[in-house]
């Protein structure tokens, strides 16, 4: 048998054919964008639009809560910060347009409800090649990330004021993440709102939940 296979390979190679034998299984199909924390891509025909929100408490002794002028500023990359580590609760949020004077986290800790962070994630579907236009306002830090790339960043301690952003999206579905933290400002406020674009936003694992 080995002699027969060797003769067959030699004959085909002489005719310009490339031959190879593979012992490994073929690779699995590519997974959708995002990681396991994003949940599974939605059934877009039966999906209630909204976000999974993970609400965290920032303690008053955290070095970034009330920074001093000589302190090193925090990273401008939200994935390098621990502001979302101390989880208080999570819930389904159908909209992220909360406006000003918003204080959602109060566990009775010293300084509550002044210092907190929220991490939202969902999937965004561009039904065609489209321009996504959205407004973002925050007091204090905020970031919007689509498919791992920041499309808006608003770091730092600041007053609540909405700004408008736009980004081109190709037809398809992508994970979308929004980070927000309130630290030293006297007033709190957050708003993310889609202004225009052929898009839908959905977090499928909550289904019809409105808790």
- pLDDT (tens digit, 9 = 90+) per residue, 127-138? 999 999 999 999
Task: For the beta carbon of residue 177, count every other beta carbon within 10 angstroms.
Answer: 21
Please tell me the distance from the alpha carbon of residue 6 to that of residue 174, in angstroms, as a whole number: 49
Domain assignment present for 18: no
Average pLDDT over residues 64-72: 88
Domain extent, residue 171, equals 48-67+74-206
Instruction: CATH number of the domain at 141, please.
Output: 2.60.120.1560
pLDDT value at residue 192:
98
Domain assignment present for 146: yes
Q: Is 53:118 a contact under the CB 8 Å cutoff? A: yes
Domain assignment present for 104: yes
Domain assignment present for 34: no
Domain assignment present for 169: yes
Asked if omega into 121 is within 30° of 0 (cis), the reply is no
Q: Which of 42-51, 64-73, 187-196 has the highest mean pLDDT?
A: 187-196
Please tell me the distance from the alpha carbon of residue 154 to that of residue 156, in angstroms, as a whole number: 7
Domain assignment present for 196: yes
Work out how many domains the chain is built from and give that number: 1
Query: Torsions phi, psi of 36, nearest 5?
Result: -65, -25
pLDDT (tens digit per residue) in 175-208: 999 999 999 999 999 999 999 999 999 987 654 4
Higher-scoring residue by pLDDT: 42, 78: 78
Which pTM was predicted?
A: 0.79
DSSP-derived letter for residue 18 is: -
Domain assignment present for 109: yes
For residues 48-78, b (16+ Cβ closer than 10 Å) or e, as one string? Answer: eebbbbbbbbbeeebebbeeeeeeeebeeeb
């Amino acid at each position: 048998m080995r002699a027969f296979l060797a003769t067959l390979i030699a004959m085909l190679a002489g005719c310009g054919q490339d031959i190879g034998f593979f012992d490994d299984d073929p690779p699995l199909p590519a997974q959708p964008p995002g990681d396991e924390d994003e949940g599974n891509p939605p059934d877009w025909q039966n999906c209630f639009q909204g976000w999974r929100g993970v609400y965290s408490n920032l303690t008053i002794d955290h070095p970034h809560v009330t920074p001093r002028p000589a302190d090193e500023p925090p990273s401008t990359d939200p994935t390098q910060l621990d502001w979302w580590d101390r989880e208080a609760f999570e819930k389904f949020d159908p909209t992220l347009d909360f406006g000003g004077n918003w204080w959602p986290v109060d566990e009775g800790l010293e300084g509550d409800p002044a210092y907190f962070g929220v991490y939202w994630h969902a999937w965004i579907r561009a039904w065609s090649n489209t321009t996504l236009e959205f407004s973002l306002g925050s007091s204090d830090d905020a970031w919007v990330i689509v498919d791992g790339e920041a499309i808006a960043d608003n770091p730092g301690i600041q007053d609540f004021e909405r700004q408008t952003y736009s980004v081109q999206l190709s037809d398809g579905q992508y994970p979308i993440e929004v980070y927000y933290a309130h630290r030293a400002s006297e007033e709190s406020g957050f708003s993310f709102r889609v202004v225009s674009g052929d898009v839908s936003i959905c977090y499928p694992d909550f289904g019809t939940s409105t808790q």
